[in-house]
């Protein structure tokens, strides 16, 4: 039996977040995929409070909430590349902006998929405004290097980068350019580097796959589908 298991689903950005951290550390794990439309007994037992993916099970002990899991991985497997910045200020700053991504920016990305008319236009403007802000954060954080974390993918890279697949899918579904190279050249370059990294490229679904998933399950979800409800509301 595997020592390390990850309960999740391929379309979930929050699950992808954990997978990327595990890949950075070169950690082997067993992936337990939740079926669409249901929640397994193991998930309900492992995360009885929120009943959401992802859940990392290490030596039969569950760890919940994606960013908490990423920090757990970084603190426990110290032999691999560091994910959190070593400097206390940089570490606090990365956590602050990761919280911004989860609490302020990513809900806009979630909601724009089903919005219509003026509401959709307002959400798109807010999404783009958030990306412009994150471009400024990148310029200040990267210190002239390729990632928020410097030379390699770090904590804030993972926190934001896990949404790039869904960002591209939103562009496809809404027929609009959100991550505009002319407005956000540095962030657009970062996005390309992030998605092509070995720790990321085989984990995160592409825009076409996510667009088809959204059309099938999110835009016209089957009734009483708790798994889909998770994808529409989860902030873990």
Q: What tens digit of pLDDT does each residue of 43-70 get?
A: 999 999 999 999 999 999 999 999 999 9
93 and 205 part of one domain:
yes
Residue 208 placed within a domain: yes
User: For residue 173, what pLDDT is reported?
Assistant: 87
* Predicted model pTM: 0.92
Do residues 100 and 211 share a domain? yes
Task: Give the residue among 31, 54, 51, 48 at the shortest CA–CA distance from 39.
Answer: 51
Q: Are residues 44 and 118 in the same domain?
A: no
**Rounded distance between C-alpha atoms, residue 16 and residue 158, angstroms:** 9
Q: Running DSSP on this structure, what letter comes out for residue 31?
A: E
- 172 with 97, same domain: the answer is yes
Give 16-47 pLDDT, tens digit per residue: 999 999 999 999 999 999 988 789 999 999 99
Which residues, at least 6 apart from 86, have a Cβ–Cβ distance to it below 8 Å?
A: none
Place of tokens 């529409």: 232
Instruction: State whether 117 and 175 are in the same domain.
Output: yes
How large is the angle between the packed helices 117-142 and 164-174, nearest 10 degrees?
150
State the average pLDDT over residues 158-186: 94
Q: Which two tokens stand for residue 104?
A: 């302020």
Give me the percent of the chain exceeding a pLDDT of 70: 92
In this structure, the number of other CB atoms found within 10 A of the CB of residue 77 comes to 16
Say if 153 falls within a structural domain.
yes
At 226 the pLDDT is 41
Measured distance between the N- and C-terminal CA atoms of the chain, rounded to whole angstroms:
27
Q: Domain total for the chain? A: 2
Structure confidence by residue, pLDDT tens digits, 93-151: 999 999 999 999 999 999 988 888 999 999 999 999 999 999 999 999 999 999 998 99
Residue 143: CATH number of its domain: 1.20.1050.10
Residues 106 and 211 in one domain: yes
Q: Are residues 31 and 99 in the same domain?
A: no
Domain end among 45, 76, 107: 76
Q: Is residue 180 part of a domain?
A: yes
* Buried-exposed string 193-225: b where 16+ CB fall within 10 A, e elsewhere: ebeebebbeebbbebeebbebbeebbeebeeeb
Whether residue 178 has pLDDT greater than 60: yes
In a domain, 142, yes or no: yes
* CA triple 170-172-176, angle to 5 deg: 80
- The answer as to whether 232 is a domain residue is no
163 and 66 in one domain?
Answer: no
Considering the domain architecture, whether residues 30 and 145 belong to the same structural domain is answered as: no
Domain assignment of residue 36, given as a range: 4-76
**160 pLDDT more than 50:** yes
Mean pLDDT for all residues in the chain:
91
User: Is 229 a residue whose pLDDT tops 70?
Assistant: no
| SS3 per-residue string spanning 154-194 | CHHHHHHHCCHHHHHHHHHHHCCCCCCCCCCHHHHHHHHHH
Choose the final residue of a domain: 76, 105, 124: 76
Residues 57 and 9 in one domain: yes
Please list, in sequence order, all residues whose beta carbon lies within 8 angstroms of the beta carbon of residue 121, skipping any fewer than 6 positions away: none
Tell me, yes or no, whether 95 and 205 share the same domain.
yes
Tokens for 54, please give them.
């992802």
Whether residues 134 and 214 share a domain: the answer is yes
**What share of the chain has pLDDT > 90, as a percent?**
79
- Which domain CATH number covers 61? 3.40.30.10
Q: Are 15 and 55 in contact (CB under 8 A)?
A: no
pLDDT at residue 208 is higher than 70: yes
| Per-residue model confidence (pLDDT) at position 113 | 80
- Whether 231 is in a domain gets the answer no
Sequence-distant (≥ 6) Cβ neighbours of residue 46 within 8 angstroms: 7, 55, 57, 62, 64
Question: Of 63-67, 155-159, 179-183, 211-215, where does mean pLDDT reach its minimum?
Answer: 211-215
- The residue among 46, 45, 41, 44 whose CA lies nearest residue 56 is 46
Q: What token pair was written down for 195?
A: 């998605």
Residue 72 has pLDDT above 60, yes or no: yes
Residue 14 falls within a domain, yes or no?
Answer: yes
- Cα 226 from Cα 231, distance rounded (Å): 9
The residue behind tokens 């979630």 is 110
């Amino acid at each position: 039996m595997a020592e390390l298991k990850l309960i999740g689903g391929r379309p979930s950005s929050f699950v992808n977040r954990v997978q990327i951290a595990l890949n950075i550390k070169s950690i082997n794990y067993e992936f337990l995929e939740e079926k669409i439309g249901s929640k397994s007994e193991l998930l309900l037992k492992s995360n009885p409070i929120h009943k959401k993916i992802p859940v990392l099970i290490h030596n039969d002990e569950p760890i919940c909430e994606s960013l908490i899991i990423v920090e757990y991985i970084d603190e426990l497997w110290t032999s691999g590349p560091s994910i959190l910045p070593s400097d206390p200020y940089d570490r606090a700053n990365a956590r602050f902006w990761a919280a911004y991504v989860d609490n302020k920016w990513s809900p806009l990305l979630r909601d724009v998929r089903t919005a219509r008319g003026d509401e959709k236009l307002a959400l798109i403007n807010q999404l783009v405004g958030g990306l412009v802000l994150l471009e400024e954060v990148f310029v200040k954080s990267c210190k002239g290097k390729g990632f928020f974390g410097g030379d390699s993918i770090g904590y804030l890279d993972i926190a934001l980068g896990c949404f790039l697949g869904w960002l591209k899918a939103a562009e496809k579904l809404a027929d609009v350019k959100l991550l505009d190279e002319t407005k956000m050249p540095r962030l657009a370059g970062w996005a390309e580097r992030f998605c092509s990294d070995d720790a990321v490229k085989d984990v995160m679904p592409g825009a076409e796959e996510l667009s088809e998933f959204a059309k099938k399950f999110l835009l016209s979800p089957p009734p009483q589908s708790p798994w889909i409800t998770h994808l529409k509301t989860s902030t873990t």
